[in-house]
Structure 1
Amino acid sequence: MTERHVVLRAIEEALAEVLEREVRDLPEDTGLFDDLRLDSSSVLELLLLVEESTGAVVDPENLDIDHLRTVRSFADYVAGLLHEGEAVT
């Protein structure tokens, strides 16, 4: 399994917990706010869960709203953090 697949799986598992429903095979262009209707507290929960499962450390200073637009942009952001030297599970 590639690093990106690990990240996507972690995001899906975190979204399932945040949304309290099964989430599978989400298209990467799914909007976190527009399509899934996440709000600020659910995004915070998502971030914490993904950090915990991947070992990535999100720096709030470097986090931009564009990193959270879609599943793809969030996965790219987390994969980039991991590529920069953060641990992968």
Structure 2
Amino acid sequence: MSAFLTPERLKMLGIGAVAVAVVGGGFWFAKVTGDRKESFAAAALEQARNTAEQGDMGKAVQEFERVTAQYAGTGASHEATLGIAQARLVAGQAEL
């Protein structure tokens, strides 16, 4: 073994490698779960839009509200907020 790779340094390198792996795994997990959340939110938003297209504005508003509550922070959540306003406008409900 070389003078550079002492047992103490090998231990520190091992700890550093494990720390990097844990942090990398955390970022990967956050990315994957965020992507899944966006996907589920988009599907729920599409369902709410389909309900609105069928003319059932009351149910559509409920579905849009569910998207905003369950998938807060996603793009679909922001679009669902607009969907709520549009559905209420079409239904003749001027006040939010």
- How high is the TM-score relative to the length of structure 2? 0.30
Q: Which structure has more RCO (C-alpha within 8 Å, separation ≥ 6)?
A: 1
Q: Which has the larger radius of gyration?
A: 2
- How high is the TM-score relative to the length of structure 1? 0.32
Q: Name whichever structure is richer in helix by fraction.
A: 2
